[in-house]
Every structure is written in C-alpha cells, then in structure tokens.
Amino acid sequence: MEHFDVAIIGGGSAGLAALKQLSNLEKQAVLIEAGKTVGSKNVSGGILYSKKPKNGKVNNVEDVYGQEFVANAPLERLITKYILHATSKDKIFSIDLTSAHKYQANFGYSVLLNKLNSWFAKEATASAEKQGGGIIPGVHVKSIIWQNDRTIVETNELDEFEVKAIIAADGVNSEIAEMTGARNKFTTEELYQGVKVVVKLPEEIMEQRFGIGPNEGAAHLFAGDITLNHIGGGFVYTNRDTLSAGAVYHYDSLIQKPDEPYVLVNAILNNPMVREFIKDEVAVKEDIDKGLPKEEQLRTRFAVSKLVKTWDDLRHSYYSPASRAKLIESGKYKSETEIKARIDSIHQELSDKYKAKFLTDYVELEYSAKLVPDGKRCRMKKPYNKNILFVGDAAGRGIFVGPRIEGLNVGIDDAVRAANAVARSIDRNNFTHSYLGEYYTRLVEDSPYTRDMKEIDKDYLKTFLDATKDVPKDIVGSRYGMIFRLMTSGTLRGLAVGFANILGYDRLLPIVESVETYVQVPVEIAEKAGTVVSSTYTPTIPTIAQRIAKLKYDDDNLSHIKVLHPKNEFMKKMVILCPTKCYSIENDDVILQHEGCIECGTCAKETEWRHPRGEKGINFQYG
Ligand SMILES: Cc1cc2nc3c(=O)[nH]c(=O)nc-3n(C[C@H](O)[C@H](O)[C@H](O)COP(=O)(O)OP(=O)(O)OC[C@H]3O[C@@H](n4cnc5c(N)ncnc54)[C@H](O)[C@@H]3O)c2cc1C
Ligand code: SF4
C-alpha cells in the first residue's frame, strides 16, 4: 500500500493553500480533488481579500504564494468602489461603502475560481512535487478508515493508501465531516444559498460604464425589494471582461418563503440599474427562409454563425487594449482603425445580406449556485476529529460582515494554520488528538477571523455608520432611526457594542438579520430619498432549461444523491429550491433527476448526499 505523510481532501482555495504551505515547509502531501480539473467544481462571488487586522495576524494569500502574487495571479480587478444600493422598484438610494470595504484590507480583488484555483494548483504542484507529493484530480474520496494506528484513505478510483494526517478541505457539504462524525450536517439556519450568473461585457465598455480605470473594479450590492423579501442581498462585481451578478440569501428565509433560485437571480438582473450595467450590443440572427433548398439553408446558417462569432470575438478584442495590441502585433491588422473597419463591415454584411438585427441585450455565460456557511452560526468549535483537521467551508468558517462575504481568505488562513500544525506533528511524529487537533484548535481560535465570527467590531461598525451618514435618519423606521442616531455617538456606540457582544450572536442575530433590516428599511430609504433609475430595454433572460443546456457536465449514470424521504416536507421544498430543477413530484413522492445537478448542496440536509465520482458531474468554466 502507498504511504504519504498527508492527504488533503478537496482542491478549492483552502485545500490548495494547505498543499502549498506544507510544501513550503518541505513536507510531503497529496491533494485529492474530485473535479476533472482543479477549479471546475468551485463557485464564489467573489472578492478575494488580503487583510491586516489591528490585533493579531492572518495568513494572507500572498504569504502562501509569494509577494509577487498580485503581479502573477489571474486576478480580475482591484475593487476600488464598493457601493450599497437600497432599492424599491425603480427607485434607488446609493451609499458609498468603499471605506468599509477597505477597512483593515490590503486589497480586495474580484476573482473567478476556475481560473484562480487552476493557477493556485499550478503553483502548489510545482512546490509539492519537490517533496514527493502533488495533486491528483478526478478522484473522489469515499471513506476514511482508522485501523489500529493506521489511517487509510479509500477512493472510488485508486487503490487505497495510508497517511499520517488528513486536512479536510472538502467544502460546505463535507462528506469527510459527516462520515467521520466530526459534525452534523449544517442546518438551514446556519447556511446561505448563493446563486450567480457570469455576464459577458467588453473591457473598455465596462470601465466607462462603471467609472473605473483599466486596473480598477467596482462592487455594487443591493438590498430592499430586489431580494423579493429575503434576508440577504444581491451583487454585481466587475471582472476583467465579465460581470458576476447574483444573490446570497439566508437559507431559512428561503425555506419559509420558497422562491426558485433563478427567479431570485432574475430579480437582480431585472433591476433597472443592473439592466443598464449588463447591457451590450447583441447580434440576433434572422430565421432562415424555409423555402430555400436544404443545402442553401445549411450554407446560410453556417455563414451567419461564423460571421456573428467573428464580429463578437473581434469586438471584444477591440475593446481590450491587450487583445487589440496582440491583433496588431500578430500582423493580422495594421491598426486599430483597421480592426474597427472590419467590425463595421461584418456588421453591415450581417444586416444587409442576412437581415441580422443588432439589439441592446445581455449575454449570459454561466449559471451557478453553492451554499455558503455562516461562521457566526456554524463554525466548528472543535475543527478536528482524531488526525483529521477541517478547514474553510468544510469547517463552516465563512464571515458575513455587513454586505461583505469572506470565505476565500478565511479558508486560506485556516489552511496555513492546519498545515503548520501538521508539519509540527510530522517533526515530532505525534499525531494524537491532543498534540495535533487541540493545537490546531488553538491556532484557529487565535485567528482574527474567529474573532470576527464571535464579536461585532466596533471600529468596523463606526466605519460603516460613517459611510451611511447621508442616510436621512428621520426616514428610517422609528426603531432604526433611533438606533442610527444613538450609534453616531462614540460613547453610546461603544456601550451598545459591548452590550451586544455580551448578548452574543446567538441572541443578536434573530434581531439584526431580519426582513426589516434587509428589506423594509432599505425600501423605506429608497422610497423617501431615492432617485428613479430607468432602463430602456428588457433583458432576454434565458430559461432554466437554456441555462442548464449551456453548462458542461460529465454525466454519471449513477446518482450521487439518494432521496431518503420522498414524502418529506423539506424535500417538497426542494422542487422549488433546487437551482436546476432536479426535483419534481409524482404521486405525492419527490423524484430526483440527478443529471442537471450543479452540486450546490441545497438538498443535502435530508438526502444521502455525495459528491459525484471522480471526473463526473458539473464542470464550471468560470466559477
Ligand atoms: C455566490 C457566492 C458568493 C461568495 N462571495 C464571496 C466573496 O466575495 N469573498 C469570499 O471570500 N468568499 C465568498 N464566497 C465564499 C467562498 O467562495 C467560499 O468560502 C470558498 O470558495 C470555499 O473554498 P473551500 O476551498 O473551503 O471549498 P470549495 O471551494 O467548496 O472546495 C471544496 C473542494 O473539495 C472537493 N471535494 C469535495 N468532496 C470531495 C471528496 N470526497 N473527494 C475529493 N474531492 C472532494 C470539491 O470538488 C471542491 O473542489 C462566496 C460564495 C458564494 C457561493
Ligand atoms: S440536486 Fe441538490 S445539490 Fe444538485 S443542484 Fe439540486 S439542490 Fe443542488
């Protein structure tokens, strides 16, 4: 049987950081990832933060991958504008929260995980191979066996192998946590459901529209009626030449008032401000004359598709300085004017010869969804079991601070702490729970991120309140108006935060995280102080069937999910809450068709839920 020092299960941003850190410490580790390629199963919003807390130290991404990280990694845009919008129909009141976004941050970059995690994997592999380790993609860990003093990892694809310790970075629906009894499945109260779409938008058009420079980015957050009465909010983040638009809602509020995830994301896309953000010029092909001979129809269809693709690709290159320069360097075009002339001539040909129309619409590239753990409610207090350490989403460690979600940076910090603990155990050859697990628990407890999951930070609150100073206090419902006014006094704020922290999040959250906070108050603000934003077009939003058809899957004839209680009320809600409509009801029984599953985890609570076998299932292209 093969032996390795450490197995890392899961190649998301957390698992990859664990592999890189262990290799940096010259320890051998193998990382097992179920996805066909690293990055194909991961979804985020997402902004990757690097932080500098005033007390304590966190391990940032550049500490793991080197100080050249920002220069070398495929980051999208440095977020320099962070705006929260209170919405009520077409009225919007905007609050500039850039100071809150920059609070204790070295940077926050928008990222797409397929690209970023692949880059992390390349970097980690180069280091890990020097230690006799590496990454094995396309392999699904199905069980862990403890036999006397031995720890054996069983997979669906490989021969079993033995390790001294395991770092479980297998995400929010951690099978390792469940199968080893390290924790129960998360409850709906502890989770949020995130759903997002990636929208294509040429670089320079985006920069002009969002008022950002070539290396800058914007984040727009939304609360109010746009959430369709759910606790949480919407977001639009600028990537280099795409936008990430989506919604993250408290799972309990979805259970109480089920709405289809695609309806929720469509509500974001249909907001007049978002419509204006996502709009672009889109070519629409005219139906081909059915009276023409078959061969002629085929020839025309082919010619039109080719021209539309060329027009679209060339136009996107034209609006990107780097791609424009490449086209000229390659000798294909002599100048920018020549590229523009070619775009116009294709446009002309498509309209005149083939009667194609050019409309204002938007182009959706990918639809995705994933659960997000709320660390305030579900972080594992004991993030280990025997010689297995849990990190990132698997340990329930996500932070929700105001509109900000932090999971990527937290997982990376956890991973470094876990890797350091494991390296220390390797040096002493001591993998007992007291030497390894309890030491790791102490390291995690010391993390400033854990503090953020336990307490309100009064300085952050001040930054947040200062940013909202233009919100007319007298128009915010009587309870909130009073709180706002009281909080502007430093002394009262200090006392209130002290009191709130004594109360603890358990008692505070039901009051703070309510429909009143996320919907009613923003609606009132928008109604009374907002301005009307209008949009002159209606986006052609794809149906869910069209969205699924665009996704890439490696189908498995075996289902990775088993419905245990087909008549159960929770399962009936899945008919609505599954983002890809995998559930239906037949004769009062809930039936699953697993083929369209995007592995979001929403149905895991009451099913026998596994990740698909290695290489099978969804392959996200953007994440
Ligand atoms: C819509 C949305 C918006 C978000 N916005 C932000 C944001 O702005 N900023 C931020 O910091 N965070 C954000 N987050 C949270 C962040 O994306 C997550 O916290 C982070 O991606 C989790 O990383 P991870 O490595 O812990 O888990 P994952 O990325 O879930 O990785 C787990 C990996 O384990 C693999 N795996 C699972 N089981 C097995 C097995 N048995 N065998 C082998 N492999 C296995 C999976 O294939 C997967 O690749 C957002 C999340 C969502 C959904
Ligand atoms: S079947 Fe379950 S895990 Fe798959 S997409 Fe639907 S809710 Fe998500």
Q: Which of 542, 569, 604 is the last residue of a domain?
A: 542
Residue range 591-610, pLDDT digits in tens = 999 999 999 999 999 999 99
Range of the domain at 245: 77-108+190-279+362-371+525-542
Residue 507 vs residue 31, higher pLDDT: 31
- Which ligand sits closest to the CA of 175? 1
| Window from 228-232, 450-454, 468-472, 589-593 with minimum mean pLDDT | 468-472
Q: Range with the lowest mean pLDDT among 4-18, 148-162, 377-391, 466-480?
A: 466-480
Residue 444 pLDDT class (50, 70, 90 cuts)? very high
Domain boundary among 301, 319, 354: 354
Residue 396 half-sphere exposure toward CB, CA atoms < 13 A: 24
* 518 in the same domain as 390: no
pLDDT at site 24? 97
- With a 6 A CB cut-off, is 138 part of the ligand 1 pocket? no
pLDDT single digits (tens) 89-131: 999 999 999 999 999 999 999 999 999 999 999 999 999 999 9
Number of structural domains found in the chain: 5
In ligand 1, the atom with minimum distance to the C-alpha of 195 is 1
Please report how many Cα atoms fall inside a 13 Å half-sphere around the Cα of residue 344, on the Cβ side.
Answer: 6
CA–CA distance, 326 with 331 (Å, rounded to integer):
9
The CA-CA-CA angle for residues 76, 82, 85, to 5°, reads 125
What is the arithmetic mean of pLDDT over 151-160? Answer: 97
Q: What Å distances lie between residue 372 and 281, 283, 578, CA to CA? A: 34, 37, 15
Share of the chain above pLDDT 90, in %: 87
The pLDDT of residue 501: 72
The model's confidence at residue 566, banded by pLDDT at 50, 70 and 90, is: very high
In a domain, 62, yes or no: yes
3-state DSSP of 32-54:
EECCCCCCCCCCCCCEEEEECCC
**Do 15 and 89 belong together in one domain?**
no
Question: Who has greater pLDDT, 226 or 520?
Answer: 226
Let me know if residue 459 belongs to a domain.
no
Same domain, 444 and 491: no
Q: Note if the bond before 46 is cis, omega within 30 degrees.
A: yes
Note whether 332 and 477 are same-domain residues: no
Q: How far is the CA of 238 from the centre of ligand 1 (A)?
A: 20
Amino acid (1-letter code) at residue 243: L
Q: How confident is the model at residue 619 (pLDDT cuts 50, 70, 90)?
A: very high
What confidence tens digit (pLDDT) does each residue in 63-75 have?
Answer: 999 999 999 999 9
With contact defined as beta carbons under 8 Å apart, do 274 and 196 qualify?
no
**The pLDDT of residue 499 is above 90:** no
Determine, yes or no, domain membership for 463: no
Q: Is residue 464 part of a domain?
A: no
Tell me the range of 62-71, 480-489, 514-523 where mean pLDDT is highest: 62-71
Q: Are residues 56 and 124 in the same domain?
A: yes
Tell me: do 529 and 427 sit in the same domain: no
Q: Provide the pLDDT for residue 485.
A: 60
Q: Do residues 444 and 345 both lie within one domain?
A: no
DSSP 160-171: -EEEEEEEE---
Question: In Å, how far from its chain's centre is CA 239?
Answer: 13
Q: How far apart are CA 220 and CA 149, in angstroms?
A: 52
Residue 574 CA to ligand 2 center (angstroms) comes to 8
For residue 469, what pLDDT is reported? Answer: 80
* CATH at 434: 3.50.50.60
Q: What percent of the chain has pLDDT over 70?
A: 95
Asked which of 305-309, 407-411, 484-488 is least confident by mean pLDDT, the reply is 484-488
pLDDT tens digits, 456-481? 888 888 888 888 888 776 766 656 66
* 301 and 446 inside one domain: no
Q: State the DSSP code for 184.
A: P
Ligand closest in space to the Cα of 597: 2
**Mean pLDDT, all residues of the chain:** 94
Contact call for residues 195 and 262 (beta carbons, < 8 A): yes
Across 5-33, average pLDDT: 98
The sign of the torsion formed by the CA atoms of 101, 499, 523, 371 equals positive
307 and 366 co-located in one domain: no
- In whole angstroms, what is the distance from residue 365 CA to residue 198 CA? 5
CB of 579 sitting under 6 A from ligand 2: yes
Helix (H) or strand (E) segment spanning residue 142: strand 141-147
pTM over 0.85: yes
Q: Which of 188, 582, 591, 593 to mutate to test the pocket of ligand 2 (most atoms within 8 A of CB)?
A: 582
Q: Nearest-5° angle of CA 574, CA 245, CA 63?
A: 105
Lowest-pLDDT choice from 50-59, 214-223, 418-427, 475-484: 475-484
Q: Is residue 594 part of a domain?
A: yes
The CATH number given to whatever domain includes residue 593 is: 3.30.70.20
Q: Average pLDDT in the 208-226 region?
A: 97
Rounded Cα distance between 60 and 64, Å, is 7
Region 574-596: what's the mean pLDDT? 97
| Domain annotation covers residue 462 | no
Residue 411 binned pLDDT confidence (cut-offs 50, 70, 90): very high
Identify which has the larger pLDDT, 488 or 40: 40
597 within ligand 2 shell (Cβ under 6 A): yes
Three-class DSSP labels, 91-144: EEEEEECHHHHHCCEEEEEECCHHHHHHHHHHHHHHHHHHCCCEEEECCCEEEE
Residues 294 and 424 in one domain: no
Determine the residue of 20, 40, 42 to mutate for testing ligand 1's pocket, defined as the one with the most ligand atoms within 8 A of the Cβ atom: 42
Between CA 439 and CA 125 the distance in angstroms is 27
**Separation of 592 CA from ligand 2 center, angstroms?**
9
Name the burial class of residue 181, with classes exposed (0-12), middle (13-18) and buried (19+) by CB atoms within 10 angstroms of its CB: exposed
Ligand nearest to C-alpha 580: 2
In a domain, 219, yes or no: yes
Atom 6 in ligand 2: which residue has the minimum CA distance?
578
CB 246 within 8 A of CB 265: yes
* Position 145 pLDDT exceeds 70: yes
How many angstroms separate the alpha carbon of residue 242 from the centre of ligand 2? 26
> Average pLDDT for residues 426-436, to the nearest whole number?
97
In angstroms, what CA-CA distances link 192 with 233, 255, 369, 520, 573? 11, 11, 11, 20, 16
Taking the alpha carbons at both ends of the chain, their separation in whole angstroms is 36
Crossing angle of helices 490-503 and 478-487, in 10° steps, is 110
CATH at 264: 3.30.9.90
Residue 56 above 60 pLDDT?
Answer: yes
Residue nearest atom 41 of ligand 1, based on CA coordinates: 141
Same domain assignment for residues 253 and 331: no
pLDDT of the residue at 538: 96
Per-residue pLDDT, 504: 72
Pocket test for ligand 1, best of 408, 444, 600 (most atoms within 8 A of CB): 408
User: Are 126 and 229 members of one domain?
Assistant: no
Mean pLDDT of 349-372: 97
pLDDT, residue 471, reads 79
Rounded to whole angstroms, the Cα distance separating 71 from 537 reads 39
- Is residue 371 in contact with ligand 2, taking CB distance under 6 Å? no
Ligand nearest to the CA of 171: 1
Residue 232 domain-assigned (yes or no) = yes
Short-list 16, 22, 144, 10, CA closest to 69: 16
11 Cβ closer than 6 Å to some ligand 1 atom: yes
